[in-house]
Chains A and B, each alone.
Chain A
């Protein structure tokens, strides 16, 4: 077993953990981040892509609204490569309470959110797909943020400053010495290798898993799980984020992200941090509500549905000193277990939202530094991060790739037409794994392979053939990789099979069963035993 020593061990490779890694690196603290899967596979990757203006909360939760508008401006400044400035609209229809817009506008003013009134005609000129039944409409500075890009940006910037991150590392135990947590033992979920990490402090940034990780130290952190479903439609129905101007309810937002439009969301209490079910009523509800503001969208082509689990933190009951133990109320929570439970060396951060991840990281890092006696202040809010090399090479806008293809700047044949991925790009992505195992689903997260309308019907077997060629694998192994990818892709589209997407999946099934005979090869059965798919795509189909 190998042993490593760091100042701080961060558990959780979502937005908060990655931002904390960057924050601590800037303070000169040596930190290591670990995640049980890949980066962005939990709540951070399973959201709709909204960079909140705070308008969403102006009606009921001013503190959150204020945090959002401040952090919205901060993220535009520091991770501009991950943000699209779509702007946002709040649209009231005759179906919505008539007294709400005035109340909402008052909240925006108090929270400092600029809300510009538009006429219905102006709104429709900007977004022709909007309903003609508009009773009030305002423009707010919403945006969309690509959590993959942002998180990779944080990690890359932290690495430049001496931080490090390991993925596919499951925390098997937290090490206790008396009243202190002094590190953790890890197990590599792919190779099985065990490691020990000694740390002066552990930061638990695991979102919905915060309770389970705290439990490893024998501590009780009560996190409730709130599941929300989202649907990606196959085109950008709107270019501006469209919110319903009404009290928060199911199905009240449309977010244009990349080439798709994500509709959200629902709110269902559940009992597990990884309950990613999407139920039929959720699909119906989301489509029906979106159809009120963008008529016709329910008859559009839905590509993929997924769910994320929001961690809702329940404060400790009376008797604890809440004011100190939880520095910021309601919106998100930083729990200093030295104060709360008398156990040093462990800080938990949970709750919150992607838009406020940097602030959450700042407050969590403050608590960590206080424990370590480090006085360096946070300095993440002003300076733009360098565009990570990985982002420059791997992430793209679809039109950029098309331009390159058409001008001969992207050689090789096109393996995934939907996302415009060429053979050399796929080969490079496979090579980047060195000798590590690589699933087609890993390549999906790297390149967006199989995320377009055909959901891997065509590119799946091509990618398997190329994987085999690059790796020198046996055919059986490549076939099993394809089988696993077929299963993974099907999960997200199964709730959406009617009309056009049902026809698409008929064609996919025809290719797999008849043209390929995938179900006739003995190794196809392996797919059921291969790794359960880690996270979903953030906000992209």
Chain B
């Protein structure tokens, strides 16, 4: 079973960023980790974003190298050696290891711990809501508790009658077909008016209410009958998530785990809000819901960014800028019908699939093996300091550093490294930014 464990020990000197003003643009995993790092390094930090990033729609786990059969970091090291253009190779393995470390620290600090397997540094094996198995390195503790590496059988998979986002028979059937004994159970939820479109977050908030969750727990208790573990959809509480899980484990007498459901993700929301509150407590500025319209550039440096407001744009100034606005999904890269791809804030060169127009962006099937060129080949090219490069391979601006899905060289949907790249490149971008300032 998964538990908390550190990958390594990295320390951030609180003097590293002292006296430095850092603006982080974007509030996905990259932007949040960059802001946390910069704050811990003593910088004055302002985080500006149009909205939360992809963690809100993702299952919640941290994919570093899903295909690794044993030591994940060793696998990444081998891969990076062979693929010098991959963001892992550019950011370096130390950045990845330290970034994972920092994520675990901050997650622990805000009370939303992420866990990995004890001792071996191998990937988890987690069931999906379709009963498939995913293999990320880390996951929020409740989800990581579903690790099936050493299967204790049988599993009991619990769903809720009349709730559209989880089908326990579908999970149990596909798990059983893969040799993992599981049986489904459907219990009812206390009725509530107008609950015909409950999202996962709606349901998670209802689990914060102890009368509500007791009514659910009472129905499951008599059905546990020898189950080694009980799985629920990942809606076990929002503000009181840890308490709900503890209560269910005590009440059912066995470990309880969560299976991520359709977006939006309560785990992603808890992490985002937790870090936002932490940043505010550290006196960082956080502006969510604000669009950075453009960067102002003088003599190869960014002097400030203009942020959309009613009727006019407000300028904000800093020494260094971390651009973590996401890829094609989150708007860090835009596309149009003619097949153009562009980065809207600074106009950094965007590399994309080699063909003219959009014709080769997608294969014939959505789930085609290897993924689609548009998501595997699009992004900013950067150097080892995470500085976006021009066509000649030279940095465009000396004080702008890019991180996350904005970068070229990997496919976040198929390469099994989406969160790992987001974290490693954010870590490297901040450390390069602060070093350049020093």
Contact = CB atoms under 8 A, between A and B. Distances in A.
Contacts of A483: 367
B262 A461 contact: yes
Interface in B312-341: 328-329, 331, 334-339
Interface in B133-158: 133-134
Interface of A: 280, 283-284, 287, 298, 405, 410-415, 417, 422-423, 458, 461-462, 464-466, 468-469, 474-476, 478-479, 482-483, 486-487, 489-490, 494, 497-499, 502-503, 505-521, 524, 528
Given A413-B164, A487-B366, 8 more contacts: A464-B170, A465-B169, A498-B358, A507-B57, A507-B329, A509-B375, A513-B367, A524-B367
A192 B162 CA distance: 37
Contacts of A284: 337-338
B134 A506 contact: no
B38 interface: no
Interface residues of B, number: 59
19 contacts: A280-B357, A284-B338, A461-B167, A468-B173, A474-B173, A478-B173, A479-B170, A486-B367, A502-B335, A506-B375, A507-B57, A511-B262, A514-B58, A514-B134, A516-B130, A517-B130, A517-B134, A518-B132, A520-B134
B28 interface: no
B133 A465 contact: no
Name the residue in A413, A415, A466, A475 with the highest tally of chain B Cβ atoms < 10 Å from its Cβ: A475
B420 to A, nearest CB: 14
Interface in B342-363: 357-359, 361-362
Shortest Cβ-Cβ A-B pairs, 10 listed? A475-B173, A465-B167, A517-B132, A490-B366, A516-B130, A506-B329, A475-B174, A517-B128, A520-B132, A519-B367
Nearest to B340: A498
B131 interface: yes
A475 B198 contact: no
Contact of A510 (B58, B164, B170): B58
A284 B375 CA distance: 22
B131 A462 contact: no
B390 interface: no
Contact of A512 (B133, B195, B366): B366
A412 B418 CA distance: 37
Contacts of B59: 514-515
A280 B128 CA distance: 36
B174 A502 contact: no
Contact of A515 (B128, B167, B170, B177): B128
Contact of A513 (B261, B263, B339, B414): B414
Interface string B165-185: 111011111101100000000
Contacts of A514: 58-59, 63, 134, 413, 418
A507 B173 CA distance: 26
Interface string B53-89: 0100111000100000000000000000000000000
A434 B58 CA distance: 38
Contacts of A507: 57, 263, 329
A497 B362 contact: yes
Interface in B194-211: 195-198
A502 B129 contact: no
A528 B363 CA distance: 14
Give the interface SS of chain B, mostly helix, strand, loop or mixed.
Answer: loop
Contact of A516 (B129, B362, B366, B375): B129
B281 interface: no
Given A458-B262, A506-B329, A513-B367, A413 B163 contact: yes
A274 B128 CA distance: 38
B337 A287 contact: yes
A459 to B, nearest CB: 9
Contacts of B57: 507, 510
B17 interface: no
A465 B414 contact: no
Contacts of A513: 367, 413-414
A102 B261 CA distance: 61
Contacts of A505: 366
A482 B367 CA distance: 12
Given A479-B130, A517-B133, A497 B375 contact: no
A475 B131 contact: yes
A504 to B, nearest CB: 9
Nearest to A512: B367
A462 B165 contact: yes
A388 to B, nearest CB: 27
Given A487-B366, A490-B366, A497-B358, A475 B337 contact: no
Nearest to B335: A498
B173 A405 contact: no
Contacts of A411: 196
A155 B134 CA distance: 48
B395 interface: no
A26 B105 CA distance: 78
B388 interface: no
Contact of B170 (A417, A475, A487, A511): A475
A483 to B, nearest CB: 7
B7 interface: no
B36 to A, nearest CB: 24
B119 interface: no
A284 B359 CA distance: 12
A411 B197 CA distance: 11
Contact of A461 (B129, B197, B335, B374): B129
B365 interface: yes
A510 B57 CA distance: 9
A458 B334 CA distance: 24
Contacts of B335: 498-499, 502
Given A468-B170, A474-B173, A423 B164 contact: yes
A287 B358 CA distance: 15
Interface in B226-259: none
Nearest to A279: B359
Nearest to B341: A498
Contacts of B133: 517, 520
Contact of A298 (B129, B337, B366): B337
A479 B174 contact: yes
Contact of B132 (A287, A506, A521): A521
Contacts of B162: 412-413, 423
Interface in B286-329: 328-329
Contacts of A464: 167, 170
B289 to A, nearest CB: 18
A207 to B, nearest CB: 27
A515 B366 contact: no
B266 interface: no
Contacts of A508: 366
B379 interface: no
B262 A283 contact: no
A521 B362 contact: no
A431 B164 CA distance: 18
Name the residue in A283, A415, A487, A517 with the highest tally of chain B Cβ atoms < 10 Å from its Cβ: A517
A478 to B, nearest CB: 6
